[in-house]
Structure 1
Amino acid sequence: MRILKCLLIGYLFLTLSACNGQDEIKINGVSFVAAGGATDSSEVQPIVNANANYAAIMPFAYIKSLDHSEIMFNSDRQWFGERVEGVKQYIEELRKYQIKVMIKPQIWVGRGDFTGNIKMTSEANWKALEESYSNFILTFVELAEEINAEMLCIGTELELFIKHRPEYWTDLIRKIRTQYKGKLTYAANWDEFKRTPFWDQLDYIGVDAYFPVSDEKTPTVETCIEGWKVHKPIIKGLSEQYQKPILFTEYGYRSVDYSAREPWVYDRSMNQVNLQAQVNATRALYETFWNEEWFAGGFIWKWFTFHERAGGKEDNQFTPQNKPVEEIIKAYYKIED
């Protein structure tokens, strides 16, 4: 009996430690959108009410076009919450409520072009882009270390930049490791993550999880769970290959018809509000992943300040705020005693 007890204790210990440093508690996160002014308790309390324990803070930078090498950031022309001082203030306010943070610097390309297609046309421009990106990311690495941010995301959906300059990324990660002691991830797009070459150098395999799982106008929970069966073995297999936990650096669905068909689409022609579609697709994602030991959790896309005015039952965008899906999130994010 005593031997059996020891074996059970050992098994539990291995289970909790299996994912190479993964926290015992799931990362139940929100993607907290920057605003023009400082945040305060009235903005953070709704995050607490949603039972979230993490927030991604997203300072954006701007690049004029897909072949432009200059990244502009931390400018007085940007929202307060996107600048260094704003990121620091947001985190200080979140910390008052024991909300942990991931700093997730991102790039916005002019005309809304997809960041995964950023590609330079000459060696000189590649070098200039690398220098500019290093200045951008290392600014927030310094801040992350200063305030002891729990996690840092080194980039978001930058497939061609990584494909054409892999040595740069390896060197960048090495440099970040010398300056920052927290956990590292990268946010790969749902159709990119299988090809990202440096997962072995990070702590989490980060995926922006906009996987297509149902072609139905109002997808059922069961249909979406079935749709995940195509993708889940691949995701799990990558976790096993690298012995790293999977983190959904972004996930979520619009409250619109066909929301699970191409969840990344912002197409304005998709404007018919469908709150049940958002509920069902979100519930299916939780049912598929949240109890898996190799799955670290994720960050719902996206959560705005001025909660009382955000989202609502006439809104057809991603935010869960003031919609039925917010109750689904609360239920799955609830920390069990």
Structure 2
Amino acid sequence: MRKKILIIITSLVILSVIFAIKSTNKNNTITEKIKSVNLSTDYEIEQALKDIDDLKVNTVNVPIVIEIPDLDSNNMKINSYSKEKAIRLIKILKSKGINIILEAYPWIANGSKYETDYNPVNKEKFFEDWKNILNILIKDIANKYDVDIMIIASNFSKLEMYEDNWCDIVNFVKGRFKGEVTYKTTWWYTASWDRKSNEDYYKKLNNKIFSKVDFISIAAYFELSDKKENTVKELVNALNSTTIYNRNQNVVEEIYRFYEKYNKPIYFAELGFPKKDNAATHPWNSEVSNVENGKEQARCFNAYKIVFEDKDYIKGFSIFAVGKKGKDKNFYPSKESIEIISKWYY
């Protein structure tokens, strides 16, 4: 009899622990380090699944294409094919236990223009329409298919100053979406000799949007060196004092200040380098050189790994970009880069 009671009590304890674990994660909070990949907008599901295995990631950033005709346009719509493909992929990834980040991805002038330059004429209409798009994605995908994280906006540099509007959108999304919410700000630079660059940095640092999100996301295309090739040690040093244009920017310290101010983890929501000479010069530029150089790309990734892998305040990173191979896919990681990335957080 005592043995049966002991078995029943043990079973109840086990069930309680399981319930506690599920309760802890009921809001889809990812407690492990995020090791993610960004998919290119034209990703192929089969290639994406192969890349996920090769890079040994636990999370995938799935983009939903938002079509915008031009840099000043207020017209926008969700691309139906992109939405349908995302749902198919998310179902597969969830069955494999992969975490999902959903991103409304601005696709301007058929991908020929940068979202950092997007500046719609009617700002009030933009925020109203953007909120409606996010609401559709929440209802049709995020909540329905158990998405873990939503990125509410990406690299809208010319719109970032509208703090109250963005805070309103964060509150709106948090009121409807059960997972974590973040906002992706783009990289920046400061130079010891450029007063305005430092003023711009402090404006970014003090933007109220970062007080509202669950964690802070950065597209980490920081310009490090003007050399076509660097040693890993040189790149590690450059993250603490950039050599390009003699700026002497301390990227590590400036990133840490966001954590220090808001006590929120920092996530590299885009970490990418073209597999070219000068990959560390303009990491955001896929055409920075005509000379292919997969080893220099790998050294850039390795420098970030060395500097940030053991930092407790870093939530993780997402590699830009995989899911489709081709001659025009200059950000696709080289074999040397894959070797570095696959061993990160593994």
Into which bin does the TM-score normalised by the smaller protein fall?
0.7 to 0.9
Aligned counterpart in structure 2 of residue 127 of structure 1, from 113, 124, 137: 124
- Equivalence for 1:233: 253
Q: How many residues align?
A: 294
Structure 2 counterparts to residues 190-201 of structure 1, below 5 A: 190-191=187-188, 194=205, 196-201=207-212
1:49 equivalent in alignment to 2:54? yes
Q: Is the 8 A contact 2:221 2:282 kept in 1?
A: yes
- Equivalence for 1:185: 182
Structure 2 counterparts to residues 58-207 of structure 1, below 5 A: 58-75=63-80, 80=81, 82-83=82-83, 85-110=84-109, 112-121=112-121, 125-142=122-139, 143-163=141-161, 165-191=162-188, 194=205, 196-207=207-218
Worse-matched range after superposition: 215-224 or 165-174: 165-174
- Equivalence for 2:293: 274
Q: Cα deviation per residue 1:259-313 (whole Å; 9 max; x = unaligned)? A: 001111133x6120111111111100111111100000110000114xxxx25xx
Q: Is the 8 A contact 1:271 1:316 kept in 2?
A: no
Q: Distance in 1 between matches of 2:147 and 2:42?
A: 20
Q: Distance in 1 between matches of 2:168 and 2:301?
A: 37
Deviation at 1:132, TM superposition (A): 1.8
Give the direction of change, closer, same or farther, for the CA distance of 1:118–1:259 in structure 2 (3 Å limit): same
Deviation at 1:243, TM superposition (A): 0.5
Aligned counterpart in structure 1 of residue 309 of structure 2, from 284, 290, 293: 290
Q: Cα deviation per residue 1:113-163 (whole Å; 9 max; x = unaligned)? A: 332332244xxx223222221222221122212212110000001122231
Give the direction of change, closer, same or farther, for the CA distance of 1:45–1:139 in structure 2 (3 Å limit): same
Structure 2 counterparts to residues 202-281 of structure 1, below 5 A: 202-229=213-240, 230-267=250-287, 270-281=289-300
Give the direction of change, closer, same or farther, for the CA distance of 1:276–1:50 in structure 2 (3 Å limit): same
- Equivalence for 1:11: none
Give the direction of change, closer, same or farther, for the CA distance of 1:157–1:46 in structure 2 (3 Å limit): closer
Unpaired runs of 5+ residues, structure 1, are: 1-20
1:31 equivalent in alignment to 2:38? yes
Deviation at 1:34, TM superposition (A): 4.0
- Equivalence for 2:339: 327
Deviation at 1:25, TM superposition (A): 2.3
Q: Which amino acid aligns with 2:75?
A: E
Q: Distance in 1 between matches of 2:169 and 2:328?
A: 40
Q: Is the 8 A contact 1:44 1:93 kept in 2?
A: no
- Equivalence for 2:13: none
Worse-matched range after superposition: 48-57 or 185-194: 185-194
Q: Distance in 2 between matches of 1:135 and 1:169?
A: 14
SS of 1:60's equivalent? strand
Q: Which amino acid aligns with 2:302?
A: R
Q: Distance in 1 between matches of 2:182 and 2:43?
A: 27
Identity %: 22
For normalisation by structure 1, the TM-score amounts to 0.81
Q: Cα deviation per residue 1:49-101 (whole Å; 9 max; x = unaligned)? A: 321000000111121222211112234xxxx3x22x22211111111221111
Q: Distance in 2 between matches of 1:228 and 1:36?
A: 31
Give the direction of change, closer, same or farther, for the CA distance of 1:315–1:276 in structure 2 (3 Å limit): farther
For normalisation by structure 2, the TM-score amounts to 0.79
Q: Distance in 1 between matches of 2:329 and 2:321?
A: 13
Deviation at 1:316, TM superposition (A): 7.2
Q: Distance in 1 between matches of 2:315 and 2:43?
A: 31
Structure ID, larger Rg: 2
Q: Distance in 2 between matches of 1:100 and 1:324?
A: 26
Give the direction of change, closer, same or farther, for the CA distance of 1:36–1:227 in structure 2 (3 Å limit): closer
Q: Distance in 2 between matches of 1:133 and 1:61?
A: 10
Unpaired runs of 5+ residues, structure 2, are: 1-27, 189-200, 241-249
Q: Is the 8 A contact 1:218 1:276 kept in 2?
A: no
Structure 1 vs Structure 2 CA RMSD: 2.2
Q: Which amino acid aligns with 2:308?
A: F
